[in-house]
Each structure stands twice: as C-alpha cells, then as structure tokens.
Amino acid sequence: MKATETMDIAEKETLLAEAENFIRTYGREWGEPQADTERRWVEVQREIEATGTYTHTCAELEHGARMAWRHANRCIGRLFWKGLHVFDARGADSEADVFAALERHIEYATNGGEIRTAITIFKPARDGKAQVRIWNHQLLRYAGYASEEGVVGDPASAAFTQVCQRLGWRGEGTPFDLLPLVVQVREGEPRLSPLPEGLAREVPLAHPTCDLFHGFPVKWYAVPIISDMGLEIGGILYTAAPFNGWYMGTEIGARNLADDARYGLLPLVARNLGLDTGTNASLWKDRALVELNVAVLHSFRRDGVSIVDHHTAAQQFSTFRRNEEREGRETTGRWSWLIPPLSPATTDIFHSRFEDRELSPKYVYQQAPYL
C-alpha cells in the first residue's frame, strides 16, 4: 500500500471519530430521540465512505457554532452563547457572493447600534484546502501606515495594510481609515472591496467632563467581527466563519488605544489631564487608563451603541459558570485572557482557577494567508 493511501485511511478514521462524537453530543444536547441520532450517524458514515467528507444540517451547523462559542476559553462573554445568530453562507461560490454575505453580516450585527451577535459560515475546507478565506483579521479595522516616524494608525494592521496597498488600495492616510475587505475563493487571486459608505458604524470618543484628546479626534468602530479564525465542528473545518459579539470597554480603552504597541495614547491623555508624567509614582498611566475607559463607555452609551463594562461582564461570566454547572458541564478557560486588563482583582475571575482544555467544536487560529 502506498504511503498516501495509508494517510488517507488514518485521516478518514479521525474524521469518523470526530463526526461521531459531534453527532452524538449534538443529539444529546438537543434532546433528539436516540433512534434519530443513530439514523443520522449511519447517514454520516455513508456520506464519508462515499465522498470523504459530510455535510452538516442547518441545525447541526447552528448548534455547533454556538457550542464553539461556549468552548471559547479566552472569551468572558460566553453567557450569551445560545443567542448566536447563524447565517448559513455555504452556498456562496464567488467573491461577489462572499462580499455580499459579509456586508449583510455587518448590517445585521450593527442593527442601528443595538448589536446582535452573529456568525456567517462559508464553505468548509475540502481535501485540506480552503475554499474561502477572509484575509482581514476583523471585518472592520483601522489601517496602519508605516512611516519614518512610526506607524500612522493601528500598528497591529501594518502588515495587512501593505497587503491591501499591493492589491491596489490607497487609504486616505488618517489614523482611523477603515480597511477594505479582502477575500479569496479557492486558489484564486485575493479580491479587494472597499466597505460601502455608511455601513460601518463608528463612535467618536469624548470624556463626559475632561478634554482628554485635545484636538486629536479619537474614535472606534462599533462592532468587533473576528474574521481570520477557523471553526471546527465534528472534524469539518470552516476556514471562513466571521463572528461578532459587542465590545467590552477595556478592549478599546485599556488595549487598542492604550498599549504602547497600538495607539499608545496614555502619555497624551495623561498630559491633557495635567498629570505628572515625569514619575511612575504619580500613577499617571493608571489614572489616564481609567479616564480613557470612562470616555469609551460614556461615548458608546451616548450614541446608543451596545457595550459592556468589565465589572458587568465578569458578573455575566459568573452566571455562565453557574449555568454550565447546572448542565453538568465544567467551564474551561484561560485565566490570563479572562481577567480584564483594568482592575482585574476586583472581579471574581481573578480569584478563580480554570482548566485550559480545548473542547470541540471550537474556534481555531489559522496561519495568515499572506505570510
């Protein structure tokens, strides 16, 4: 027997095992009659024998995506996993279809500011090859232009911004230029599409009582839509499955705008607050952080855009853990990601321990297609 055939057999065994595990867990959680589960399992086995893969039903796809959220060890927002809205975009077959589905996702999720959690699931990988990939890290994100004096915009986007420029895109050059969508279908060239005017909701930031930014207009987009992770359900890998929640304030105020390697606004904010930045002991960084986070929460609320503060999010996570316990499931988690970056010890997450075990279905990192 040739080596490749041996590998195929091993791969098929793995797929069968993962599929069986998922089909049975799905049946159990869904309260499906045992006979229906057995019938479905036979059907899946036949499809795998005949074609080397199998096709999830819409209900399996929906529940699988929700389970993957429930299993997301780094996510503090898992209380809402059952409410994830699933768009089945497995029929999208061209770049135009994919762009249309992505625009529909942004529109649905934004919902005039009352953000709805959603995922759009495209065709899964076939024979280990992606059929659809989204090159963006998030559907909405700001460009980062490398220059002599450092990066203008978001340094986290510097490499991807160059990719967009190579594909012919030219941004305005402001620190807050929304990047275009870049998608790839099968082995084709990546295609680029600027976001339609008015589709992406943004929130200009202001502090309720102080002039934090003093002439430097700061804003952030309303919806974080992760678009570069894969979704694995029952041995099937969906390589394009953008999903969103709503923001927790600290993601913007204590990381995106604050980190040295991102917008690095703490010195500016501290100076505008009149703090002594000459000594660590004035706690200027801490005080600037707090006011920056006040500005984020205040501005989103003012504009009627959903956002959660980290204290409330931590309480919601406790409720999630209690719910899971009631269902007889252990909550796995990654402590270093679950604690908020601001005042972590004020939340009970800080005082808890979690097992960082990976359960399936799950969201997985993927190698960036342009690296």
Residues that bind ligand ARG (CB under 6 A): 77, 224, 226, 245, 247-248, 251, 256
Q: Is the backbone peptide bond immediately before 208 cis, with ω within 30 degrees of 0?
A: no
State which amino acid sits at residue 315: Q
Please state, as a whole number, how many other Cβ atoms lie within 10 Å of the Cβ of residue 317.
22
| Buried residues in 36-74 as b, exposed as e (16+ CB within 10 A) | ebeebbeebeeebeeeebbebeeebbbbbbbbbbbbbbe
**C-alpha span between 140 and 106 (Å, rounded):** 9
Known catalytic residue at 334 = no
End-to-end, the C-alpha distance of the chain in Å comes to 36
Question: Please, which residue, 125 or 248, has the CB nearer to ligand ARG?
Answer: 248
- Catalytic residue, chosen from 18, 251, 271, 329, is 251
Secondary structure (3-state) at 205: coil
At 180, is the secondary structure helix, strand, or coil? coil
Nearest approach, Cβ of 4 to ligand ARG (angstroms)? 39
Q: Known catalytic residue: 251?
A: yes
Least distance (Å) between residue 110 CB and ligand ARG = 14
Pick between residue 92 and residue 225 the one whose CB is nearest to ligand ARG.
225
By beta-carbon proximity to ligand ARG, the closer residue of 234 and 249 is: 249
Task: Report the distance separating Cα 277 and Cα 266, nearest Å.
Answer: 10
Q: Which is closer to ligand ARG, CB of 47 or CB of 251?
A: 251
Q: Which residues 6+ apart lie within 8 Å of 209 measured at CB?
A: none
Please say if 75 is a catalytic residue.
Answer: yes
Nearest to 65 by CA among 368, 331, 57: 57
Name the minimum Å distance from CB 160 to ligand ARG: 14
Catalytic annotation, pick one of 69, 75, 191, 201: 75
Q: How many residues belong to the chain?
A: 371
**Closest to ligand ARG by CB, 251 or 324:** 251
Nearer to ligand ARG, 141 or 321 (CB): 141
Task: Return d(Cα 338, Cα 72) in angstroms, integer.
Answer: 10
What SS3 class is residue 65?
helix
**Edge-to-edge strands, sheet with 181-185:** 132-134, 181-185, 191-193
CB of 141 to ligand ARG, least distance (A): 7
Query: Least separation, in Å, of the C-beta of 239 and ligand ARG?
Result: 19
**Shortest approach of ligand ARG to residue 156 CB, angstroms?**
9
Residue nearest to ligand ARG (CB): 245
69, 81, 220, 246: the active-site residue: 246
Hey, which residues are catalytic here?
A: 75, 78, 246, 251
